[in-house]
Amino acid sequence: MSQTSSLLPHKIIGVAVIWNDQEQILIDRRRPEGSMGGLWEFPGGKIESGETIPECILREIDEELGIEIEVGEHLITIDHTYTHLRVTLTVHQCRHLTGVPQALECDEIRWVNLEELDQFAFPKANFQIIAALRQSKEVKGSNFFG
């Protein structure tokens, strides 16, 4: 690890790739005034002390979107260093169970097909998530929870 990256703040983040029954993924757009404002992302948030990643994901999705999900298998873990921040994203496949998603802590939410993700601007670390989703879909087809 370089001296520079060790001085940056490091956030460990649980990330949910939430699928619905129509095989669409839920994405949200960050508020313009925040860090990486206006970019789209897969929902999730910072892990709190004593939490597991699945517990973090369940809590964050409830707080941010007001829905209930099932946390499924681990998809990918990404370590990425931005100029101002180092992040570790631990990403899980998730399934929407109940509730209508609401933009409680973001600007906008959308259900999109995997093929449509290229139409949205994501932070750089998210490109690896999209690539992992495409690879997983090729290997498993559409049965992520089977």
Binding site per annotation, positions for Mg(2+): 44, 64
Q: Write down the pTM of the prediction.
A: 0.89
* CA distance to 4, 47, 81, 90, per residue, from 10 (Å): 12, 11, 9, 13
Residue 144 pLDDT: 52
Fold of the 16-139 domain: Nucleoside Triphosphate Pyrophosphohydrolase (3.90.79)
- Taking the CA atoms of 117, 52, 71 and 142 in sequence, report the sign of the dihedral they define: positive
Stretch 51-71: mean pLDDT, rounded? 97
Q: Per the annotation, where are the binding residues? A: 30, 41-44, 64, 126
Residue 45 tokens, joined: 């948030």
Number of alpha carbons in the 13 Å side-chain half-sphere of residue 42: 28
pLDDT at position 96 is 97
Specify the pLDDT at position 132: 96
Three-class HEC string of 100-120: CCCCCCCCEEEEECHHHHHHC
- For residue range 75-115, list pLDDT tens digits in order: 999 999 988 889 999 999 999 999 999 999 999 999 999 99
Q: Tell me the per-residue pLDDT of 1-57, one tens digit each, with 9 for 90 and over.
A: 445 556 889 999 999 999 999 999 999 999 998 788 899 999 999 999 999 999 999
Residues 75, 42: Cα–Cα separation, whole Å: 13
List binding-site positions for 8-oxo-dGTP: 30, 41-44, 126
